Each structure stands twice: as C-alpha cells, then as structure tokens.
A and B are shown apart, each in its own frame.
Chain A
C-alpha cells in the first residue's frame, strides 16, 4: 500500500510536470531520445526494406495498370508545367511592380526536408513517431509533416538529432495539447474555410468545423491546408470531404473528412519548413 501511495504521488508529479506548457525538453530527455533514435534507425530501415520487398512481389500484377495511369498524369503534368511557368513569371513581375516587401515575396517559398521515420510508438492513445531530423537540421516544434499522399502530422518535441511527430489522428479540441489547422477546399481556396478540430477514432474520420453556412463545399472535394495564420504552410492535401451537416448550433456547418495519407509502413516523410519571417513589420 505504501509503495502504491508513493508511486502514485510520483506519477502525478511527473504527469503534472509534462503537462505544464513547456517549450523545450529537458536535457536528460534529449539525450535519451537521441541515443535511442541513433540505434533505432539501424533497425527500422532494414526491416522496411525486407517488408517492402515482399510487398512489391505482391504488387507485380497491378504494375501495368499503374504505369498506364502514371503516363496519363505525366502528360497532364507537362501541360500544366508550361502554364505554371508562364503564370509564375507573370506573378513575379506583378509582385515587382506592386512593390511587395521581401517578407511578402518569400512567404510561400517553402522548403521540404526529407526525413526518415526511425520508430513508431506502441501506445494506442499516443501514436507518435520519431524522425531522424532534429534541431541541428532546422526542425522546430509545430512544423507540418507530410508524405507524398498528404499531411500526416506536426512535429511536437524536438531534440538535436530527432523529432517527434504527433499525427493528426491525435487532434482533439478537448485535449490540453491541442493544435487546430485552418483548411480550405482545392479549387475554391478563397471562398471556403474550415477548421480541422478533432479526429474521431471510432469512425477514423477527421471533423472540420466552423464552415460558413453559405459555403459551397461538397462531398468528394479535396481538403487542403489554407495557410492562414502563417504557422502551417498552405496547399498541403489533407483528405476528401465525405459528408457535410449542420453544426451544433445551426449557425455553421461541420464536415467529416477522410484522410488521404495512411499511417502504416511509413518510410520517408517531408517536413515543411516555412521561411523565417521577421515579426512586427
């Protein structure tokens, strides 16, 4: 009984310490995370290669179809690329003529850093994963992390050589470690707006709230980050809308969003580095 009491008090103390709004990890934590991360990366990658080899054998049959599709997208891409180049040049000229400040010009100049996943947490309520880039590589807390399919999470705690990614499946309005992401719909970036507020684990869908009543978004629209607020980059795919219904008070709508990225068997992820902006200009 005595052991239980002491253990309980210690546990509450440690939990309280970790819940307090701290900016950085303490050095013992950093040291432990870096050293385990160093060892884990020897294991995760080879295991991935071996597993990937068997998966590829299974995929051999569908490869012909996939090639066909890729050829079509490549053709579409080369057409769009020409258009994009013209528009980009034009845009740069307009910015020059309108005398944009340096800050405004570089606002959307994102930098994508490739990171390797080195381990995945085995806790059902905390699916965080560690990547092998840290503060020495310019990673900071609250940077968006994506795969080629879409947004998977935000970096939460950073050590010199590793960083922990909190997946967007941990999004929760009621939780004390809450971050909301502003989102919009591809094709109508200026008209649609919503906030990704929480992830429902039971239906594995994410909930988008605070959508204006007269918003024209529909099912099967692609949801992307809007970049309003300049913390998270804009234009990262999140998922597709499944249903839209009237919200709790009847003034706004809510939508359920199916995530585009899958969280199993991740290898390479991209950390999106937002350019440094000088405050108070």
Chain B
C-alpha cells in the first residue's frame, strides 16, 4: 500500500464525512452525531505506521478541513489532529496494539480531540456552552460512530499501514 493510496483514501473519507454522512445520520441528530473518520485514520496510522506519518497526515488533512469549512478560525483541526496523532505515536508506536487496545485508544483519542477543539473555541469565546453540556450533547454520541467506524475498517487499515511501515525501512537500506 503506497502512501499515495493512503492519501487517496483519506481524501475519499474527507468527502464522505462532508457529503454523504449528513444523509446517513437521521434527521434531528445532525448536530449531535458528528463523523471524524479522518481522525480515526490518523490514530490508526500512529499506531501501525509511525508518529511522523501520523503528524503529517493529521496536520495536512486537518488543514484541509479548516480551509474548506472555514467559519471562525483556521488551524484548529490541523493543530489538534497533528498533536494527538504525534503523541499517540510517541506513546504507542513500538508496541503492536491488539484490536481491543486499538479501539480503546481510538475512543480516548476521540474524546480528547473533541474536548481540545471545544476548549480552543471556548478560549476564543466562540462558544458559551459548558463542557458538561458539550460532552453529553455531541462528544459522547459521536464517539460511538467513530468506534463503529474503527471496528469496520480495522482489518484492512491495519494491513495497509503495516505494509507501509515495513516497506519504508527496506527502502532506506537500499
């Protein structure tokens, strides 16, 4: 699985998040269940491929999202996605995570991601809600969507990223 393929898949996920998911989520829950599929992929890449790749993917696709949906601030998603991707990699890239562990890490990372974004907006006074409300209203409901997505894509994604990280050292030796 080459890097180009992974980038193409990330782009496809980005488009699905913005253009297909609003139709799949039932009416009335549009602001409560929020897909973060790209972010799940970034965490996968941190777990199975390496922290630098996760940082790269997180920063670039975060920036894409920031620019395309520019409403208040630029750079929030880019920063938070890159940061969480990188530090997940720092903590866990040496160990080969099992399915349960990967899902648990993705769950924690999603909560952290939504919370960090919430606090950045809170600092700039774009939202006035309390954190407890945000947690109940959208962070926890959308967590389940992310976990379901992670479960569905776990097997193929792990294979891609591991093939990727195996291929890379061989190239360096040549």
Chain A interface residues (CB < 8 Å from chain B): 3-4, 7-8, 10-11, 14-15, 17-19, 25, 28-29, 32-33, 36-37, 39-41, 43-44, 47-48, 50-51, 118-128, 130, 156-157, 164, 166, 169-170, 172, 174-177, 198, 201-202, 262-265
Residue from B16, B27, B64, B139 whose CB has the most chain A CB atoms within 10 Å? B27
Asked if residues A264 and B22 are in contact (CB atoms below 8 Å), the reply is yes
Closest chain B residue, CB of each to CB of A119: B18
Closest chain A residue, CB of each to CB of B25: A264
Asked if residues B19 and A40 are in contact (CB atoms below 8 Å), the reply is yes
Of B102-110, B126-134, B162-170, the one touching chain A: B126-134
Q: Which of these, A123, A156, A172, contacts B77 with CB under 8 Å? A: A123
Query: B86 within 8 Å of A by Cβ?
Result: yes
Residue from B22, B82, B117 whose CB has the most chain A CB atoms within 10 Å? B22
How long is the Cα–Cα vector from A168 to B133 in the complex, in angstroms? 20
Chain A hits for B53, CB < 8 A = none
How long is the Cα–Cα vector from A58 to B146 in the complex, in angstroms? 28
Asked if residues A29 and B67 are in contact (CB atoms below 8 Å), the reply is yes
Asked if residues A125 and B117 are in contact (CB atoms below 8 Å), the reply is yes
Asked if residues B35 and A122 are in contact (CB atoms below 8 Å), the reply is yes
Asked if residues B23 and A51 are in contact (CB atoms below 8 Å), the reply is yes
Query: B34 within 8 Å of A by Cβ?
Result: yes
Asked if residues B117 and A119 are in contact (CB atoms below 8 Å), the reply is no
The interface on chain B, measured as residues whose beta carbon lies within 8 A of the other chain's beta carbons, has a size of 56
Interface of B is mostly: helix
Chain B hits for A202, CB < 8 A = 129, 133, 137
How long is the Cα–Cα vector from A44 to B19 in the complex, in angstroms? 4
Closest chain B residue, CB of each to CB of A55: B27
One digit per residue, 1 when the CB lies within 8 angstroms of any chain A CB and 0 when it does not, for chain B 100-120 equals 000000000000001001101
15 of the cross-chain contacts (CB-CB < 8 Å) are A3-B86, A7-B79, A15-B74, A15-B76, A29-B70, A47-B19, A119-B18, A126-B126, A127-B71, A128-B71, A130-B69, A156-B71, A164-B71, A169-B31, A264-B22
Residue from B25, B68, B73 whose CB has the most chain A CB atoms within 10 Å? B68
| Ranked 7 nearest A-B pairs via Cβ | A14-B75, A119-B18, A18-B74, A121-B69, A11-B79, A44-B19, A43-B19
How long is the Cα–Cα vector from A22 to B70 in the complex, in angstroms? 13
Q: Which of these, A48, A124, A177, contacts B72 with CB under 8 Å? A: A177
How long is the Cα–Cα vector from A43 to B16 in the complex, in angstroms? 8
Asked if residues B75 and A32 are in contact (CB atoms below 8 Å), the reply is no
Asked if residues A15 and B67 are in contact (CB atoms below 8 Å), the reply is no
CB distance from A9 to the nearest CB of B (A): 10
Asked if residues B68 and A11 are in contact (CB atoms below 8 Å), the reply is no
Given A172-B126, A177-B126, A202-B129: A157 and B70 within 8 A (CB)? Answer: yes
How long is the Cα–Cα vector from A127 to B34 in the complex, in angstroms? 10
Closest chain B residue, CB of each to CB of A165: B71
Asked if residues B68 and A130 are in contact (CB atoms below 8 Å), the reply is yes
Chain A hits for B23, CB < 8 A = 44, 47-48, 50-51, 265
Chain A hits for B14, CB < 8 A = 36
Q: Which of these, B19, B34, B127, B138, contacts A119 with CB under 8 Å? A: B19
Q: Which of these, B18, B27, B29, B74, contacts A121 with CB under 8 Å? A: B18
Asked if residues A11 and B125 are in contact (CB atoms below 8 Å), the reply is no
Closest chain B residue, CB of each to CB of A201: B129
Query: B93 within 8 Å of A by Cβ?
Result: no
Q: Which of these, B21, B22, B36, B82, contacts A7 with CB under 8 Å? A: B82
How long is the Cα–Cα vector from A170 to B126 in the complex, in angstroms? 8
Chain B hits for A156, CB < 8 A = 70-71
Contact residues, B1-21 vs A (CB, 8 A): 14-21
CB distance from A144 to the nearest CB of B (A): 17
Q: A11-B79, A47-B23 are in contact. List 5 more A-B contacts (CB 8 A).
A: A39-B15, A43-B20, A47-B20, A128-B69, A176-B125
How long is the Cα–Cα vector from A126 to B24 in the complex, in angstroms? 20
Closest chain A residue, CB of each to CB of B35: A122
How long is the Cα–Cα vector from A125 to B36 in the complex, in angstroms? 14
How long is the Cα–Cα vector from A235 to B17 in the complex, in angstroms? 35
